[in-house]
Structure 1
């Protein structure tokens, strides 16, 4: 999750129950192959579920966060917010000092 593309994929998926592969690809601004590799890593970690199907005759792939993926992403965001809060507080102390 710490890798920027993986973090971006999780962030894109956190806002929806499920998203089409092409939507995530365009949102994260990576190629199909880069997204595919990162989704495989996230799927193996148990963070992302991949569902394949078709719309008409066109194959489609949908991605969704698992419960573990949502929990891990929320925890990661909480830690980042805590770190950012400490940084802001430290800057205010330095400015006031």
Structure 2
């Protein structure tokens, strides 16, 4: 995957990482096809390469996955006694 991302230019990168892709990742999480931890690792990888290429992936802002992460963050903050700090940091 790293080699593919290395070879992509900015236009190709923005073309692939659209809102639909992030919504599909959320659907995969809900169907238990991918774990939350693996989804977070995938998003970190996407973010890393977007930063290296100087690209802003604005489609994530409009995705359902972003809303899900925001809810998870709020829930983790509310239950401070059981807060999973590693999950909160990843989110």
Provide TM-score, normalisation by structure 1.
Answer: 0.33
- Give the structure with higher Rg (CA): 1
| More helix by percentage | 2
